[in-house]
Amino acid sequence: MRSVRALAVAVLCWLSAYDVSLAEQPKSGGILKMYHRDSPGSASIHEGASYSFNVPFMPVFNNLVIFNQHVAQNSVDTIVPELAESWAWSDDKKKLTFKLRNDVKWHDGKPFTSADVKCTFDLLMGKSQQKFRQNPRKSWYDQVNDVTINGDYEASFNLKRPQPALLSLLASGYSPIYPCHVSPAEMRTKPVGTGPFKFVEFKANESIKLTKNPDYFRKGLPYLDGIEFTIVTNRSTAILGFVSGKFDMTFPTEVSIPLLKDVKSQAPNAVCVVEPSNVSTNIIINSSAPPFDNLDIRRALALAIDRKAFISILFEGQADIGGTMQPAPAGLWAMPKEILETIPGYGPDVNANREHARKLMQKAGYGPDKHLQIKVSTRNIPIYRDPAIILIDQLKTIYIDAELDVVDTAQWFPKVARKDYSLGLNLTGNAVDEPDQSFYENYSCDSERNYTNYCNREIEKLFDQQSAETDADKRKKLVWEIDKKLQEDVARPIILHSRTGTCWQPYVKNVTVMSNSSYNGYRYEDVWMDK
Amino acid sequence: MLAYIVRRLFLMLVTLFGISVIIFVLLRVVPGNIVDILFDAAGYVDPADKANLEKELGLSDPIVVQYLKWIGGLLHGDLGYSYVSEKPALQEILPRIPITAKLAGLALLFSASIGIPLGVLSAVHQGTRLDYALRVVSLSGLSLPSFWLGLLILMASVSMLGWMPIYNPNPQTWAEAFAIYCIPAMAVGFRSAALTMRITRSSMLEILRQDFIRTARAKGASEASVNYHHALKNAVLPVITVIGIEAAFLIGGLIVTETVFNIPGIARFLVEALRWRDYPIVQNLVMFIAVVVVVVNFAVDMLYAAIDPRIRFGD
């Protein structure tokens, strides 16, 4: 009897193992259907600054190198070759050379060569005759002198000084290689890439269609026959579409925590993942005009923020507190808790912080009988508006009466650029969990994306110092020091770092949601459907 | 009659010219332009790049020059290029017109085919339970916003049928093709049907009290003949006016319905184009809508004479 049972158990085990191995065997075919949250302005990733561009168009392209698409935490250790076969730093760390694949073709049949690499980065650095309409990541390549080629299959980046971060920047979803023979204007409407999927059509406000690239250099990939994005701007309709099975996947990192509950209750089989998105909700301050030209008032503002209240109200507790760099464990460069809590406003006793803030306000001439009247400007979008309302409520505790000033998207950047605001509620997304990207882009004196024009030359020297530091541990300590100083300077007070959800139907396999960037994980070459 | 038609056609041209000026000026008065939005999407502002792009798109030209270029192009059938998609505006607009036309047509059909008979029924049975019930239905139709009704329909479809009637350019079955147009048409036409029903009811009540109705009854005409042949024919003029106005109003009503049901029609496209300050698309679409409204009004006026022989269009 015992032996019969043992045999039965063995057979069952074998069957289940067989079943699992069958289930995990990738299958080719099928069109992955996904909704897109809005209509991207164009199909050109290099000209956009939102992952609305990356999600649908990253599958069309390849980079020289890319973050491993199945490791959630992007880091320099997870970078793998793509159009490059290998890479090597020179001894002085001022030259990064890539050996390129020789079996890659553009979707129009032309061969990919090192000239395309040079063209792409010349365009990005503003060195070519052709120009992008917008070039939001030009500053990423400030330390690159030029890109030189050696034959058809070798390209080198020659740097002004060592910059270990360059490799991470090149591995971002924002760094695809464009073909020389297609103009930037054509790339906005009919992009040609080397990637696993070919562009079919982009109907503004309607749909984006991609089809399998049968000549993809990675043989056997992609598994999917195509990807179709239906543009659904109404979030309720989009979620209902996913729940009803019309879509195989939600738009990545777009399901808010409260909505996630609805999805799970209505589609219990759906696979949902919540990950940090490396997007911070922060306050931009016009420190060039009264009242926030007064450091005491800026410090009072920083002390008044009850971050836990924001997180509890907006994210049901599922968000993180940190400085400029994304908090640990998902963030690689976060200040340790013991350093963070020494920064004014980050201490656990909110009442004590606010008491201190009130004293600072009184020192500046305000008090219970004389409140400071200001406006809190923000975009007319819920993810901006909602935290702005909580901020206004919290400011009341330190004698500041603020009024919400909602600004149309068309007016947001012009308004910020002409300094027509006192306080602004802003969201900052970081494409790469990398201090060079975050510090230079948002806090460098000459950066186009430094909306507040915060400028501290001393800190900027530290930016350069950390950027050139090749010892990872030393660099990390420098980054903590800079981040602490930025918070103490009230440069752009960080309220929270959000977490968001992504859901897919159980038959969609091999999807990995990145945990420290919302911009890098959409190549989808080995995603498949068990249908 | 001919003189009247010529005068109306002339007035139509003047109206369209006025609209073209108003929409052109208003669009430029609204703060921000496509370049601001494009830089917003790129997350930075560079004054030099911005100026270059404004020049490239012709936005730095004087407003009169911009207007003349647009109207000149329009007269030659050149609607310009969409700033966003960089495709010819005509190519962007044309495929969307049949979608909205189908939706609006079905909504109007629903509105008339439900609103008129129920309005007659309600008037004929004035003061009865049926009348009260129909008045409640019509009031609810007027009070429920179509986007809310649309969402309710979507939620009910998903929870009860596990399916939702959102737009699909290639419907797989006849039933799906029917559902993707008819359900949104019903959602948007419900309000319109309620209005038609109330107008029909009040107009019918007024007519049913007229002497000629009593005469018809005295002559032994059947109730159906009295209600539908004598009364409705006389009561229908205000209903036609309302349906005509509704036809124009539907474009506005369709904006939310197209958004909720994700239908790529011109109403939703117009809102998106406005958001992007895509002037060529907005200007041409508004002109198209204006032409539709003006033509519908003209057709309604012509219809009066066809329905009521007493009406003559004199000089």
Does the pLDDT value for residue B151 go beyond 50?
Answer: yes
> B265 CA to chain A: closest CA distance, Å?
9
What's the whole-number mean pLDDT along residues B224-246?
Answer: 88
Instruction: Judge whether B51 is closer than 8 Å to chain A, CB to CB.
Output: no
What's the whole-number mean pLDDT along residues B259-280?
Answer: 90
pLDDT tens-digit map of B195-223: 999 999 999 999 999 999 999 999 999 98
Closest chain B residue to A202, measured at CA: B85
Do the chains contact at A133 and B38, CB–CB below 8 Å? yes
The pLDDT score that the predictor gives to residue B5 is: 84
Instruction: Judge whether B53 is closer than 8 Å to chain A, CB to CB.
Output: yes
Tokens standing for residue B41: 């999407």
The DSSP result for chain B, as a single string, is: -HHHHHHHHHHHHHHHHHHHHHHHHHHHHSS--HHHHHHHHHT---HHHHHHHHHHTTTTS-HHHHHHHHHHHHHTT---B-TTT-SBHHHHHTTHHHHHHHHHHHHHHHHHHHHHHHHHHHHHTTTSHHHHHHHHHHHHHHHS-HHHHHHHHHHHIIIIIS------SS-SSHHHHHHHHHHHHHHHHHHHHHHHHHHHHHHHHHHHTSHHHHHHHHTT--HHIIIIIIIHHHHHHHHHHHHHHHHHHHHHHHHHHHHHTT---HHHHHHHHHHTT-HHHHHHHHHHHHHHHHHHHHHHHHHHHHH-TT-----
Does the pLDDT value for residue B168 go beyond 90?
Answer: no
The pLDDT score that the predictor gives to residue B229 is: 85
A463 sits in which H/E element: helix A457-468
Per this entry, what is the length of chain B? 315
User: Which residues on A lie below 8 Å from B52 (Cβ)?
Assistant: 131
Q: Which positions 261-300 of B are in contact with A (Cβ < 8 Å)?
A: 261-262, 264, 268-269, 272, 275-277
> B33 CA to chain A: closest CA distance, Å?
7
User: Which residues on B lie below 8 Å from A135 (Cβ)?
Assistant: 42, 49
Instruction: Judge whether B145 is closer than 8 Å to chain A, CB to CB.
Output: no
Instruction: Judge whether B43 is closer than 8 Å to chain A, CB to CB.
Output: yes
The pLDDT score that the predictor gives to residue B314 is: 59
* Residue reference for tokens 């059909």: B109
- Range in A315-324, A492-501, B164-173, B244-253 with the lowest mean pLDDT: B244-253
pLDDT tens-digit map of A450-478: 888 889 999 999 999 999 999 999 999 99
Does the pLDDT value for residue B19 go beyond 50?
Answer: yes
Which site among B53, B158, B160, B260 would you substitute to test the A interface, given the most A Cβ atoms closer than 10 Å to its Cβ? Answer: B158
Task: Please check whether residue A504 is in contact with residue A250, taking contact to mean a CB–CB distance below 8 angstroms.
Answer: yes
User: Which residues on A lie below 8 Å from B92 (Cβ)?
Assistant: 204
Instruction: Judge whether B33 is closer than 8 Å to chain A, CB to CB.
Output: yes
Nearest CB partner across the interface for B42, out of A39, A136, A205 = A136
Instruction: Judge whether B87 is closer than 8 Å to chain A, CB to CB.
Output: yes
Q: What is the ipTM of this complex?
A: 0.82
Instruction: Judge whether A411 is closer than 8 Å to chain B, CB to CB.
Output: yes
The pLDDT score that the predictor gives to residue A23 is: 53
Is the CA virtual torsion A77, A82, A86, A88 positive or negative? negative
Tokens standing for residue A207: 């749909």
Tokens standing for residue A327: 């908090």
Q: How many inter-chain contacts (A to B, CB under 8 Å) are there?
A: 124
Tokens standing for residue A368: 């219970």
> B307 CA to chain A: closest CA distance, Å?
42
The pLDDT score that the predictor gives to residue A24 is: 75
User: Which residues on A lie below 8 Å from B33 (Cβ)?
Assistant: 410
pLDDT tens-digit map of B91-104: 999 999 999 999 99
Residue A4 burial (CB count, 10 A): 8
What string of pLDDT tens digits covers the 531 residues of chain A? 445 455 454 554 454 444 444 457 999 999 999 999 988 989 999 998 889 999 999 999 999 999 999 999 999 999 999 999 999 999 999 999 999 999 999 999 999 999 999 999 999 999 999 999 889 899 899 999 999 999 999 999 999 999 999 999 999 999 999 999 999 999 999 999 999 999 999 998 899 999 999 999 999 999 999 999 999 988 889 999 999 999 999 999 999 998 999 999 999 999 999 999 999 999 999 988 999 999 999 999 999 999 999 999 999 999 999 999 999 999 999 999 999 999 999 998 999 999 999 999 999 999 999 999 999 999 888 889 999 999 999 999 999 999 999 987 777 877 887 888 999 999 999 999 999 999 999 999 888 778 888 899 999 999 999 999 999 999 999 999 999 999 999 999 999 999 999 999 999 999 999 999 999 999 999 999 998
Closest chain A residue to B163, measured at CA: A244
Nearest CB partner across the interface for A409, out of B37, B87, B155 = B37
Instruction: Judge whether A409 is closer than 8 Å to chain B, CB to CB.
Output: yes
Task: Please check whether residue A94 is in contact with residue A161, taking contact to mean a CB–CB distance below 8 angstroms.
Answer: yes
Which site among A232, A413, A447, A450 would you substitute to test the B interface, given the most B Cβ atoms closer than 10 Å to its Cβ? Answer: A413
Do the chains contact at B46 and A205, CB–CB below 8 Å? no
User: Which residues on A lie below 8 Å from B82 (Cβ)?
Assistant: 204
User: Which residues on A lie below 8 Å from B157 (Cβ)?
Assistant: 244
- Which residues in A454-481 are b (16+ Cβ under 10 Å) and which e? bebeebbebbbebbbbeeeeebbebbbb
Omega before A291 within 30 of 0, i.e. cis: yes
Q: Which positions 430-449 of A are in contact with B (Cβ < 8 Å)?
A: 448-449
Nearest CB partner across the interface for B166, out of A50, A233, A246 = A246
Tell me the C-alpha distance between A487 and A303, whole Å: 11
Which site among B28, B29, B30, B39 would you substitute to test the A interface, given the most A Cβ atoms closer than 10 Å to its Cβ? Answer: B39
Which carries the bigger pLDDT value, residue B234 or residue A65? Answer: A65
Task: Please check whether residue B221 is in contact with residue B185, taking contact to mean a CB–CB distance below 8 angstroms.
Answer: no
User: Which residues on A lie below 8 Å from B277 (Cβ)?
Assistant: 410
Tell me the C-alpha distance between B258 and B187, whole Å: 11
Which carries the bigger pLDDT value, residue A209 or residue B86? Answer: A209
Do the chains contact at A47 and B154, CB–CB below 8 Å? no
> B72 CA to chain A: closest CA distance, Å?
26
The pLDDT score that the predictor gives to residue A17 is: 46
Q: Which positions 177-216 of B are in contact with A (Cβ < 8 Å)?
A: none
pTM attached to this predicted model: 0.87
What's the whole-number mean pLDDT along residues B120-137?
Answer: 95
> A10 CA to chain B: closest CA distance, Å?
40
Nearest CB partner across the interface for A408, out of B32, B38, B158 = B32
> B304 CA to chain A: closest CA distance, Å?
40
